[in-house]
Every structure is written in structure tokens, then in C-alpha cells.
Amino acid sequence: MRRDRVARLVESRRFSTAILLVILANAVILGWATYGGSALPYLLAVEHVLVVFFVVEMALKIYAWRRGFFRDPWNWFDFAVVLVSVIPVAGPFSVFRVLRVLRILRIITAVPEMRMIVSALFRSFPGMGTVIALLLVIVYTAAILGQLLFGASVPQYFGDLGTSLYTLFQVMTTENWPDVADAVTAHHSGGWIFFVLYIVVTAFIVLNLVIGVIVASMKEEVDRNRWDEDQRLEEVQHREVMERMAELGRQVERLEHLLREREGDRPPTVGPVVSEGAAEPGR
């Protein structure tokens, strides 16, 4: 097949839908295989057929796009997943059998909306890393403070730095924090102030900052995709306008050529030339 025809095939909506259905079928088979039973050999046979389908898909895309295939990071991910799928699962490579589950993640690359969300998450890492670093500083400071304040009375929760960090992580998730607070307030009547301030700062402020960074990155990703789509639309419209102008220019040239031909075929007009000062007859 010609390369342009293969490119149209792999870029068509039907081909993308077929790939998505195969990925979903592979996910169902992997889940079904966990139950074992008499159907397991048939499931493995169907799985081998699906792997062949994935290999053919990769081959067609590489043939159609050539070097352009490896310019997209998502294509690298798909290629790595398919490569792991064809590695023999016997002998020293048996550990790679677990990585078959990664084929389910190809749903992300097959669905543009999911791909956009994951891209936004990756773009939010720099800003989110700063907020998480701030959160770690707050938790670390609170853990040392909690150990100094409550370590002697409630060592099961604040006996040392590690125990204090684990306790404050549970408190930050608001999981069973009343039990910790009750154990502390039984010995320190004002201990509730520590927990209220800690939960407000970590669970309600800093964690919401993380969510805000992710939402901002999501908005930027959506706007970027819309801008790319607008650019492609403007390019198509510009191309259509230029083609139309070129066609109009060719039509004008044809009309000018026809006018010149008609003026060349027209016979010259011959008649008496009367000078302006000539005498009138009868004078």
C-alpha cells in the first residue's frame, strides 16, 4: 500500500475506534484471566491475537509517519507497551508478564480527552512541586512541634519524629483524627488548638492550592488545544482563500487575453479627415 493511503487509514476515525475497542477487549480479558478456570487457555489465545493486532498497528503507524511517529511522546509510550507485550514471558523474562497490565493504559492515548487531562497533570508538576514542598515543610515543622509538646504524654502518637510524621499524615487526611486529638486533650486541655490550626492550614489551604494549580494547568491545556485547533482552521481557510484568489487571477488573465484577441481581429476605421480650419462648402 502507498504511504499516503496508510496514513489516511491510521488517522481515520474508524481506525481509532477499532483500536479503542481492542484495548477495551484486552482489558476485559486481563480482568477475566484473574479468575482462572477452564476458560484461561482460550483467553490467552485471544490475548495473543490482540497482541498481533497491536504489533500491526504500530507497524502501520511507523510506516505511515516514519520519523514523525517518534516525535510524539504518546507514541513512545504505545511503542514501549507493545514492545513489552512481545517479550517472551518464560525464563528470565517472566517478570515482564506483570507489565501486560500496562496495555490497559493505552486507553489514555486512544481517548483525546483523557490524553488532555494527563498532559495537564504533567504540566502542573512544576507549580505543584512548589506547593507540595511547602506542605512538607509545614508537616515537618508540626511533627517536631508535636513531639516536643505531646511526646512525653502520648508516645504512641508523638513518641519520635517518625511516629509524629505518620500521625500528622493521618490527621491531614482527616482519618481518625478525633482519636488522636482526644488522646492528646486528655493530658493537655489546650491541645485542640494545635489540631485545629494544623488541619485548617494543611487540609483546607495548602491542599486546595494543589487543586488550584491542577485546575489552572487544565485550563491552559484546554486553551492551548483550542488555539492549535484555531490555527489549523485558519491555515485551512487561508489556503482556500489563496487558492480562490489564484483562480480569480487566472480568470482575469483569460479575460484580458480574450479582449486582446478581439481588439486584434477588429478592422481599423478609415474615413475622411477634416481639418479644423477647412472652409465650408459654398463659401
CATH class label, 112-262: mainly alpha
Q: Which CATH number fits domain 3-110: 1.25.10.10, 3.30.310.50, 3.90.79.10, 1.20.120.350?
A: 1.20.120.350
**Span of 19-28, 112-121, 151-160, 225-234 with lowest mean pLDDT:** 225-234
Instruction: Determine how many CB atoms are found less than 10 A away from the CB of residue 171.
Output: 25
The Cα-based distances of 235 to 146, 232, 244 in angstroms read 62, 5, 14
Long-range contacts of 49-53 (CB under 8 A, 24+ apart): 50/22, 50/25, 50/26, 51/82, 51/85, 51/86, 53/22
**What are the tens digits of pLDDT across the range 59-106?**
999 998 888 888 888 888 888 888 887 776 555 555 566 677 777 888
Closest to 20 in 3D by CA, of 52, 49, 57, 67: 57
Whole-number average pLDDT of the chain: 82
Domains 3-110 and 112-262 share a fold: no
164-212: per-residue pLDDT in tens? Answer: 999 999 999 888 888 999 999 999 988 899 999 999 999 888 888 888 8
pLDDT tens, 156-167?
Answer: 999 999 999 999
At residue 266, the pLDDT reads: 59
Global pTM value: 0.57
Give the start-to-end residue ranges of the domains of the chain: 3-110, 112-262
